[in-house]
């Protein structure tokens, strides 16, 4: 059993590297259905559950501290690369479907939570809020919402959220991929004419290829990314601390309304997100490699959270209730999606990408889009980024609603 911080972290980085190597280099077919991030989730949780490392106070403190400092840098760098304004070039039908999907997921969470509330533990609202951040945005938002709600690593609320996300969301991705060959039948049901959306997305694909930075990644790019990311993260942490605990500003009291709406690290997450979105509209987005470093941080943060999640502490009966609840949320979402498709004559590709951009985020939405058509990959990525941009804030607001129910 590992009890040394250095040995634990070395093993974590080695495991993440091995998974990504298999996904990126070996190109195993299983990764076309199940993203590497899911293997990192499950591998980390299995290691903790089998007690390969012991979650001593030192290791637990190291996980919490490192995640707290890496999180704002990760959020900033991942949001920096893509100008949020470009998303609206996808067209009103695609954007409208995305937000309708988001609304159906939010309502689904509220309905299922109300139905199962008497059977769940008192902290179930935290589980549902954390999961909603992933099903509106992605893994980035899940880590951010956990920090925003002040949920500790290894808690049952976080463990159940991971369980629901991995089982239910993985099933959803497989189902949407399986439906890909049925586009004509689906469009016949909905009455969709897909030529318009195909033309828009193909045009975006050509523009993306034309504007791609072809030069090699250089040393100075890496230094700029590190310096900017760490600098902004430091500023964000200072601003977040001032909002949470403004010291002598308490007499003025002008921060009280916003300080009381979110607590803990919530404002650190929100400020980091705002910095990333604003930075994406400036020349900073042209710094090469910010997305690569941001993704490295994402995998590390997810690994840190997963390795502190011990499945052996939960009961099978309670876990089953949460998983059933997750599938019911997806069922409600599916019914709403089919109704929307029929009313607005939506194409299968639009419905699928909008749905997966919410439930799977930037990791799996491009995978699904690429399964449909390579020209759709930019659309899947951009819609995933839109979900990442709004997922954390919506999840924190949903948490407030669930507490009041």
For range 376-381, the mean pLDDT: 68
| Whole-number pLDDT of residue 86 | 66
Residue-wise pLDDT for 361-375, tens only, equals 766 776 677 667 655
Give the C-alpha separation, 213 to 91, whole Å: 25
For range 293-298, the mean pLDDT: 86
Residue 398 tokens, joined: 């949903």
- Identify which of 136-140, 164-168, 313-317, 400-404 has the greatest average pLDDT: 400-404
| Whole-number pLDDT of residue 206 | 62
Question: Residues, the chain, total?
Answer: 405
Tell me whether residue 40 is exposed, middle or buried, using C-beta atoms within 10 angstroms of its C-beta: 0 to 12, 13 to 18, 19 or more. Answer: buried
Share of the chain above pLDDT 70, in %: 82
Per mean pLDDT, which range of 145-149, 154-158, 257-261 is the poorest? Answer: 257-261
**For 47-72, what is the HEC assignment?**
HHHCCCECCCHHHHHHHHHHHHHHHH
Tell me whether residue 285 is exposed, middle or buried, using C-beta atoms within 10 angstroms of its C-beta: 0 to 12, 13 to 18, 19 or more. Answer: middle
Q: Partners of 56 in the beta sheet?
A: none
Indicate the average pLDDT of the chain.
81
Q: How far is CA 295 from CA 4, 37, 73, 114, in A?
A: 26, 11, 11, 36
For range 51-75, the mean pLDDT: 87
Please, what's the largest Cα pairwise distance for the chain?
65
263 conformational bin, left if phi > 0, alpha if psi -120 to 50, beta if neither:
beta
In this prediction, residue 265 has a pLDDT band, given cuts at 50, 70 and 90, of low
| Whole-number pLDDT of residue 395 | 92
Q: Is the pLDDT of residue 73 over 60?
A: yes
Q: Is the pLDDT of residue 190 over 50?
A: yes
- The DSSP symbol for 252 reads T
Q: Identify which has the larger pLDDT, 335 or 350.
A: 335
Q: At what angle do helices 266-279 and 57-80 cross, to 10 degrees?
A: 30
Q: Is the pLDDT of residue 328 over 50?
A: yes
Q: Is the pLDDT of residue 202 over 70?
A: no
Residues 6+ away with beta carbon under 8 Å from 216: none
Q: Is the pLDDT of residue 251 over 50?
A: no
Give the total number of structural domains in the chain: 1
For range 64-69, the mean pLDDT: 85
The domain of 254 spans 5-404
Q: At what angle do helices 170-178 and 348-359 cross, to 10 degrees?
A: 170
In this prediction, residue 250 has a pLDDT band, given cuts at 50, 70 and 90, of very low
Q: Identify which has the larger pLDDT, 106 or 248.
A: 106
Q: Is the pLDDT of residue 11 over 90?
A: yes
Q: Is the pLDDT of residue 14 over 90?
A: yes
Residues 20 and 36: beta-carbon distance below 8 Å: yes
Residue-wise pLDDT for 272-288, tens only, equals 878 888 888 888 888 88
Share of the chain above pLDDT 90, in %: 21
| Whole-number pLDDT of residue 255 | 44
**Secondary structure of residue 264 in the 3-state scheme:** coil
Helix (H), strand (E) counts: the chain: 18, 0
Q: Identify which has the larger pLDDT, 369 or 56.
A: 56
In this prediction, residue 7 has a pLDDT band, given cuts at 50, 70 and 90, of very high
Q: At what angle do helices 316-344 and 170-178 cross, to 10 degrees?
A: 40
Q: Identify which has the larger pLDDT, 47 or 316.
A: 47
Residue 296 tokens, joined: 């490295």
**Secondary structure of residue 2 in the 3-state scheme:** strand
3-state helix, strand, coil in the chain (%, to 5): 80, 0, 20
Q: Identify which has the larger pLDDT, 219 or 329.
A: 329
Closest by CA to 75, choosing from 250, 293, 247, 241, is 293
């Amino acid at each position: 059993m590992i009890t040394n911080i250095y040995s634990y972290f070395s093993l974590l980085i080695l495991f993440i590297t091995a998974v990504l190597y298999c996904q990126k280099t070996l190109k195993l077919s299983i990764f076309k259905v199940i993203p590497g991030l899911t293997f990192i989730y499950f591998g980390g949780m299995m290691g903790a559950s089998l007690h390969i490392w012991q979650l001593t106070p030192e290791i637990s403190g190291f996980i919490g501290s490192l995640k707290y400092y890496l999180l704002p840098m990760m959020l900033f760098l991942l949001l920096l690369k893509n100008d949020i304004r470009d998303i609206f070039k996808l067209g009103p039908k695609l954007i409208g479907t995305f937000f309708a999907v988001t609304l159906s997921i939010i309502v689904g969470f509220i309905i299922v939570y109300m139905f199962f509330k008497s059977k769940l533990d008192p902290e179930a609202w935290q589980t549902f809020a954390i999961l909603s951040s992933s099903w509106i945005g992605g893994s980035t938002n899940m880590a951010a919402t956990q920090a925003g709600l002040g949920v500790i690593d290894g808690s049952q609320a976080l463990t159940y959220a991971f369980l629901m996300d991995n089982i239910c969301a993985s099933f959803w991705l497989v189902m949407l991929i399986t439906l890909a060959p049925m586009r004509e039948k689906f469009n016949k049901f909905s009455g969709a004419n897909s030529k318009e959306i195909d033309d828009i997305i193909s045009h975006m694909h050509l523009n993306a290829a034309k504007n791609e930075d072809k030069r090699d990644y250089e040393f100075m790019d890496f230094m700029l990314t590190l310096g900017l990311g760490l600098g902004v993260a430091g500023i964000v942490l200072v601003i977040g601390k001032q909002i949470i605990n403004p010291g002598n500003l308490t007499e003025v009291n002008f921060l009280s309304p916003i300080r009381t709406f979110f607590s803990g690290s919530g404002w650190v997450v929100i400020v980091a997100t705002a910095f990333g979105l604003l930075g994406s509209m400036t020349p900073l987005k042209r710094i090469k490699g910010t997305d690569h470093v941001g993704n490295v941080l994402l995998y590390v943060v997810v690994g840190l959270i997963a390795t502190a999640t011990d499945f052996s502490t939960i009961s099978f009966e309670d876990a089953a209730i949460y998983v059933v609840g997750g599938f019911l949320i997806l069922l409600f979402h599916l019914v709403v999606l089919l109704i929307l498709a029929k009313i607005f004559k939506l194409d299968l590709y639009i419905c699928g990408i909008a749905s997966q951009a919410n439930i799977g985020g930037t990791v799996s939405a491009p995978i699904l889009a690429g399964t449909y058509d390579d020209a759709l990959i930019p659309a899947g990525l951009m819609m995933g980024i839109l979900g990442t941009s709004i997922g954390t804030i919506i999840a924190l607001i949903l948490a407030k609603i669930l507490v009041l129910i």
